[in-house]
Amino acid sequence: MTSAMEQLAAQGQSVWLDYIRRDMLQNGDMAAMVADGLRGMTSNPSIFEKSIAGSDQYDEAIASFVAGNVSATPIEIFEHLAIEDIKSAADILAPVYERTDGADGFVSLEVSPHLADDTEGTINEARRLWAAVGRPNLMIKVPATVAGIPAIETLIGENINVNVTLMFSMGDYEAVSHAYLRGIENASDPSRVASVASFFVSRVDTAVDNQLVELGEAGAALLGQVAIANAKVTYQRYLELFGDDFTAEWGKGAFPQRLLWASTGTKNAAYSDVMYVEGLIGDNTVNTLPPATLDAFADHGSAADVALVADIDEAYAVLDKLAAVGVDLDAVTNKLQRDGVQAFIDAFEALLGAIEEKRAALV
């Protein structure tokens, strides 16, 4: 029987898992998912905070590391744990990377969220993490902030794979895609560098819906429609940048920078729990799914339609209507990016605090 992930692959979409925890790397669960069609994995400070602080799976590793590094700081302990997990995940995904000639099979590790407004700090930390992990199928996650854009260009130019995160708008995408294009112009081997542009979805509906509800009847018709319309319009721009002209220019050289749909777990219980999977199926894209959403899609999702190229005129109309009722989407998405950076900072600080408590208790 064809798995849900294989059904999406048949439509040109790769499924990545938006989750990482040590037990799944060690007990064969992730290897089984790869055999079932999983093609990648993403992590972020919030995911590591839940995995490390929310379980005792890492306690022995923390105690062992601290025993040999008594003056280790919480951030050094975290990096030790995270790099071990990322290496393991990269090795499990290595057959996918090899089978696809470097087009897929990646695992992502994020630079510190405290560096979101620091270009040189981001570049230096990305270089250090890239060297520390030492796997060709690693992607370094860099936010699409004003400071992040030149860092992305530099890192791509140095043949370092980049997962650009915290994109919410067409403006974000324009800046990110052109940073990638400038980067591959400088790369010594464009055929061995890859990038994805992570476009966040459900958070857009949550934020916009809050404003639409306040508008009453005038906003009701647009509830739950804006995020997917925003993604569809952005995908049209992707097709313009990385379609036939790009392929003709680069041939078998550089890869297109794929759009990756992030924040695809449904946050409103009134909506379908697979709406951000079924509505975002498109060729040469990635959807990174939290475990619950992946399970839901496997249970009752449908991969019958290439939804991203359907009803495009309607998607543009939704965004026009949104502006007409007085909702400023750019203002919403700019705030979402700032809030996203802060949420990762908060999770990162909570994680470091939990590691410090664990270290004190274990020692």
DSSP for 286-353, written as a single string:
EEEE-HHHHHHHHHH----S-GGGSSHHHHHHHHHHHHHTT--HHHHHHHHHHHHHHHHHHHHHHHHH
Q: What pLDDT shows up at residue 236?
A: 97
pLDDT in tens, 235-276: 999 999 998 888 777 766 899 999 999 999 999 999 999 999
pLDDT in tens, 47-73: 988 888 888 899 999 999 999 988 899
Instruction: Give burial (CB, 10 Å; 0-12/13-18/19+) of 260.
Output: buried
Which of 141, 232, 252, 335 is the catalytic position? 141
Domain ranges of the chain: 4-200+230-306+341-362
What span, in angstroms and rounded, lies between the C-alpha atoms of 55 and 351?
12
**Whether residue 141 lies in the annotated active site:** yes
Residues of the chain falling short of pLDDT 50:
none
Q: What pLDDT shows up at residue 45?
A: 86
Domain 4-200+230-306+341-362 classification at class level? alpha beta
pTM for the whole thing? 0.96
Q: What pLDDT shows up at residue 22?
A: 95
Q: What pLDDT shows up at residue 277?
A: 97
